[in-house]
Amino acid sequence: MESQYIYSMNLNENRMQTKAEQIDIICAFIRSLGIVAEPGLISSTSFLPGVEIVNGTLVYDEDTLAYPGDLLHEAGHIALIPAEFRTRLSGNVTENGFTDGGEEIGVMLWTYAACKAAGIPPEIVFHSNGYKGQSTWLLNEYASGNYIGLPLLQWMGLCARDHESPGFPNMIRWLRP
């Protein structure tokens, strides 16, 4: 597990932030989008340590949450589900039939845009123990402007088309209608 301190430039602070501070910043951003995020009990079968989706709500246990950035990624799953299904979303979204997994590439890019908007270093979400060992590659691709998954977010109406402004990583809306 990574240190409870991760370097962050959030709010122009040039210091290490505690895990609790990171959770507070991430949850404040998630809540500002209209997604409910609250502390609670996590089932032993949760997909990620310390976080799970329960009926469209992001529930987390600060003590067992391994990586605060996982909260933002899971919020992306909630955001990309059509609004009519959002409150029925629970557990592993692929295993529970709400998606076939094809949205994962969009969730990752949504999460990158959310990091930029919230002032969170993307490395907090794209940590070394996530994304099947491809975190560094994804960060390099995004940093170079290769926004893998952008057509999906455009199709969902979340960000502008290539010829429109403002361009990615700016979002038109954060939640899929």
pLDDT in tens, the chain (177 residues): 333 333 333 444 455 689 999 999 999 999 999 999 999 999 888 888 999 999 999 999 999 999 999 999 999 999 999 999 999 998 877 666 666 667 899 999 999 999 999 999 999 999 999 998 999 999 999 999 999 999 999 999 999 987 777 889 999 999 999
Is residue 140 domain-resident? yes
Is residue 49 domain-resident? yes
pLDDT at 46: 85
Q: How many CB atoms lie within 10 A of CB 47?
A: 16
Is residue 33 domain-resident? yes
Is residue 102 domain-resident? yes
Alpha helices, DSSP H, located in the chain:
19-32, 69-80, 104-118, 122-125, 135-143, 150-155
User: Structure pTM?
Assistant: 0.88
Residue 38 bridge partners (DSSP): 59
Is residue 57 domain-resident? yes
Is residue 174 domain-resident? no
By residue range, what is the domain housing residue 52? Answer: 6-155
Q: Cα–Cα–Cα angle for 38, 35, 22, nearest 5°? A: 55
pLDDT at 16: 67
Is residue 61 domain-resident? yes
pLDDT at 2: 35
Is residue 175 domain-resident? no
CA distance 16 to 6: 5
pLDDT at 97: 60
Q: How many domains does the chain have?
A: 1
